[in-house]
Amino acid sequence: MNGLHNLLESISKPLMPIAPWLLRLGLGVSFILHGVGKFPLPPERMVTWFESMGYMNPEFITSLVALGEVGAGAGIIFGGLFSGKAGHLITRLSGGAVVVIMIGAILIAHSDWLVNKKLFMSEQIFLFLLGGYFAIKGNN
């Protein structure tokens, strides 16, 4: 048991600095791609859907969502490139934006998933949780 622990420790120790980057790049790229997929603005399919649900100013809201996704994804990545308070702040604000966007996505698009296993079998819950992770930890 001790030998296996030591082996795994020797393999993982040099990789420790890149471990947060695995999460950061996965979340950042995913959010950027989700946002860019809604371009050109306003995202017509999303506008029509929001109109059908009675939302006011759907062109503005849906454009804000797309820009927010791109901005939050980029902020998660770029926040890690800056040391000190600036990088920490960019990462935390971007993580918070991910959380807010994902709460909206879950409540609006997937409200039938609340308190059931579908939510925990979806990518949405993991995007939400990763956003929360970066909102809480920042660059720490």
Q: What is the pLDDT of residues 18-40, one digit of tens each?
A: 999 999 999 999 999 999 999 99
Give the pair of three-digit tokens for residue 85. Answer: 């308070």
pLDDT band per the 50, 70, 90 thresholds, residue 89? very high
Q: By the 8 A CB rule, do 105 and 62 touch?
A: no
pLDDT of residue 18: 94
pLDDT of residue 59: 95
Cα distance between residue 1 and residue 121, in whole Å: 33
Q: What is the pLDDT of residues 43-80, one digit of tens each?
A: 999 999 999 999 999 999 999 999 999 999 999 999 99
DSSP string, 72-124: HHHHHHHHTTS-HHHHHHHHHHHHHHHHHHHHHHHHHH-GGGTTSHHHHTSHH
